[in-house]
A and B are shown apart, each in its own frame.
Chain A
Amino acid sequence: MSLEIMGVRKTFHTKSGAQPVLRGVDLEIEKGEFVSIIGHSGCGKSTLLNVIGGLEGADEGKVVLDGFRVEGPGPDRAIVFQNYSLLPWMSVYDNVVEAALSARPDRKSDATRDIAEKYLRSTGLWLHRDKKPGEISGGMRQRTAVARAFAVGPKVLLLDEPFGALDALTRSNLQQQLIDLWSHEDDTETVLMVTHGIDEAIFLADRIVVMANPPKPSVAEIIEVKIERPRDKAELPKDPEYQRIRERLVYLLERELVTPQTNEQEAA
């Protein structure tokens, strides 16, 4: 089965008029796929992720996961937010466990605690489990958010620019950890990640969805990344396929999809 996004439209009504954020999005994502969504600010990529996550409703169209229409948030889809979104008064452990417990009332709570421990260990947070989010680094906060999402055991993992606020080395480290977690995972097979980073998109994804700003259609292009896994970050830049995709993405994002509006928004 798969995740199907069918004719999704959404318009925001603001003081400066109607903003057609999603202008008919159709995507079919296979089970086990890692899909990156890339585009300039204002192209609606985060909104699309929120619609799939059930945090926002679509004006038209629907999202169907394994034959069931998405009506709201559910344990089959976990989101890792851009700003970590940890609860600052709770320990790292409680952030993961409390979320997993309430998202999965069907599991025995001991089982949930074991699963939470497993992900806290595999993200290297077990020794820091009693600390509060304010006492750990940005990278550790984001790892906590990733562990929390995996501990729910969702079918689909939704990542909203998860590594945007981190420094380059930490980001690279976390990308590798995410791939390791994902490739050892049975429950969470499908990943959808919104990103600003061209290299990140190619390194992680099987397919890259390039989104455009209004008034162009939402989905500008879908690029397949036919590079064998596991991918070696150090060797990747030499790969002709990598170079071809990178060139295409740079052309799209720096030339073709640059509109007065994207410039304006980048400046803002």
Chain B
Amino acid sequence: MSERDLKTSFDALPGRVDGAAVLDPSTGIEHGDTAPPSGTAGAAGRPRRVAGLRRPASARARSAVDQVVLGFAGFVGLFALWAAIAAVSPDLPTPAESLSALSDLLAEPFHDNGPNDKGIGIQLMTSLQRVFIGFALALVVAIPVGFAMGASRQAWSAFNPVVQLLRPVSPLAWFPLGLVVLKAAPAAAIFVIFITSIWPTLLNTAFGVASVPESHKNVARVFRFSKFKYTRHVLLPYSLPSMVTGMRISMGIAWMVIVAAEMLSGGTGIGFFVWDAYNASNLANVAAAIFLIGIVGVALDFAFGKLQARVQYKEVV
């Protein structure tokens, strides 16, 4: 079956991911986003229990407490390790220094005293704005091309070799080209985000569209759905979960890449802030920025997780 072949070749692609599983781009390991391995399962990861067999409320409350306690313990471990390394490497800021740097940064996050002194909030907003613009532009390209690749064998043959060649390239390699053509460093950073965001969304869209089951297609044929109706009521709802999964991965990578892109572009943004703090030997600010970048990343991923849950339907059969 040709459809199956296509599916298998997709399965072999490292970028393609199902359902709520998320590909960690740094490790290449797929993992569920909300479900911990076992045992200390949070409410979201635990399979639903039949009424009457539910664990008593006290047990559930205990597991929630466990979760908080263990989560806290993880951070304690991180800080202990950090403090130990900082003790032998005096150039590293200690956790305490970094925390005080963080509270200083958050005291006046939106202050603006000219180009060399902007609040951390402004820097983060600048970066977020670039990420959203680059991401939105990428969707304009990735979704139609992904649809075409998934729906037509010719489009697949035409685009796939190009996609496979460009996909593994670090998006930062595109920075010089962006700079030359766009003649502005911030625009080049947006261009880098645009390139970054294309691939996961494109491939997941193509995968979703290509894997519409024969049974859904037969319904459309027997009841003579028009092209529009097929797209609206079969193709789109079927491929939407996979498309949003792709968007979620794209956004996750884009948020990582913007830091590096702004280290190159300079001027403004959280990446510039980190580089600038390093140049000023203010490593406590670097550590504080790492924490804030992580928080924003978690928030972005959470939002896309919500969107994913909204478009997910319950499979029958």
Residues of A participating in the B interface, judged by any CB pair closer than 8 Å: 53, 55, 72-75, 78-79, 81, 83-90, 98-100, 102-103, 132-135, 141, 148, 152
Query: Which 6 A-B residue pairs are closest in the complex by CB-CB distance?
Result: A134-B314, A99-B223, A89-B313, A89-B237, A103-B223, A133-B316
> In the docked arrangement, what's the CA distance between A245 and B289, Å?
82
Q: Is the CB of B315 within 8 A of A134?
A: yes
Summarize B's interface: helix, strand, loop or mixed. Answer: helix
> In the docked arrangement, what's the CA distance between A73 and B229, Å?
16
Is B9 an interface residue, CB under 8 A from the partner? no
Which residues of B are found within 8 Å of A85, using beta-carbon distances? Answer: 215-216, 218-219
Q: Is the CB of A73 within 8 A of B317?
A: no
> In the docked arrangement, what's the CA distance between A84 and B221, Å?
15
Which residues of B are found within 8 Å of A74, using beta-carbon distances? Answer: 224
Q: Mark B253-287, 1 if CB is under 8 A from A, else 0.
A: 00000000000000000000000000000000000
Q: Measured between C-beta atoms, what is the minimum distance from A256 to chain B in Å?
A: 33
> In the docked arrangement, what's the CA distance between A55 and B217, Å?
10
Is B151 an interface residue, CB under 8 A from the partner? no
Which residues of B are found within 8 Å of A99, using beta-carbon distances? Answer: 219, 223
Residues of B participating in the A interface, judged by any CB pair closer than 8 Å: 215-216, 218-219, 221-226, 229, 233-234, 237-238, 313-317
Q: Measured between C-beta atoms, what is the minimum distance from B231 to chain A in Å?
A: 13
Q: Is the CB of B317 within 8 A of A84?
A: yes
A-B contact pairs, 18 of them (CB 8 A): A55-B218, A55-B222, A73-B221, A75-B224, A81-B215, A85-B219, A87-B219, A87-B233, A88-B313, A88-B316, A98-B223, A99-B219, A102-B224, A102-B229, A103-B223, A103-B224, A134-B315, A134-B316
Q: Measured between C-beta atoms, what is the minimum distance from A238 to chain B in Å?
A: 38
Chain A minimum-CB-distance residue to B229: A102
Which residues of B are found within 8 Å of A134, using beta-carbon distances? Answer: 313-316
Q: Is the CB of B226 within 8 A of A87?
A: no
Given contacts A53-B222, A87-B216, 5 further A-B contacts (CB under 8 A): A90-B233, A102-B224, A132-B313, A133-B316, A141-B316
Q: Measured between C-beta atoms, what is the minimum distance from A88 to chain B in Å?
A: 5
